[in-house]
């Protein structure tokens, strides 16, 4: 039998499959740092729970981040969500300049396809030496989209 892979049909007909993988991964007893090969277990997109877990782990591991919060429709269990719903994440940090002057940290959450920095426009550039809130809209290769807001806790406003 020769089956042609069709990603669009997979997403429309079988996108629920990868969600069942969460409980399977709990059965794996592998030491930290182990490598596990995943064969034919979905499309590679992180589920909402996996993405929440990743955000939490990154916040806990990075001493520059004081808190992480989910905002927007994903924070509302009554809101309708689909595969196009983004994740609005607010990172409360000690010094926002460490996140605005080098945005390489956005790749910690997946393979970046495109990132937009709406606070930095040609006629009104962002002050990268300052500590104003900073927004970063990121589309990842796995289909997830995260809109980050960086808030500097040293400003005392939050």
Per-10-residue mean pLDDT of the chain, 158 residues long, equals 61 56 65 69 68 92 94 84 86 95 93 90 84 93 92 76
Position 158 scores a pLDDT of 45
Position 145 scores a pLDDT of 93
Sort strands 145-152 and 87-93 into parallel, antiparallel or unpaired: parallel
Domains of the chain: 45-155 (3.30.460.10)
């Amino acid at each position: 039998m020769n089956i042609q892979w069709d990603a669009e049909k997979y997403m429309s007909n079988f996108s629920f499959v990868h969600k069942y993988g969460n409980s399977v991964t709990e059965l794996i007893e592998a030491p930290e740092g182990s490598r596990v090969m995943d064969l034919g277990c979905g499309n590679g997109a992180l589920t909402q729970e996996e993405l929440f877990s990743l955000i939490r782990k990154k916040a806990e591991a990075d001493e520059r981040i004081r808190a992480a919060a989910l905002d927007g429709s994903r924070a509302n269990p009554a809101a309708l969500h689909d595969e196009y719903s983004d994740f609005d994440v607010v990172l409360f940090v000690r010094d926002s300049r460490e996140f605005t002057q080098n945005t390489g940290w956005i790749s910690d959450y997946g393979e970046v396809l495109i990132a937009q920095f709406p606070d930095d426009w040609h006629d009104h550039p962002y002050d990268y030496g300052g500590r104003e809130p900073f927004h970063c809209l990121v589309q990842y290769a796995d289909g997830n989209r995260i809109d980050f807001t960086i808030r500097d806790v040293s400003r005392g406003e939050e």
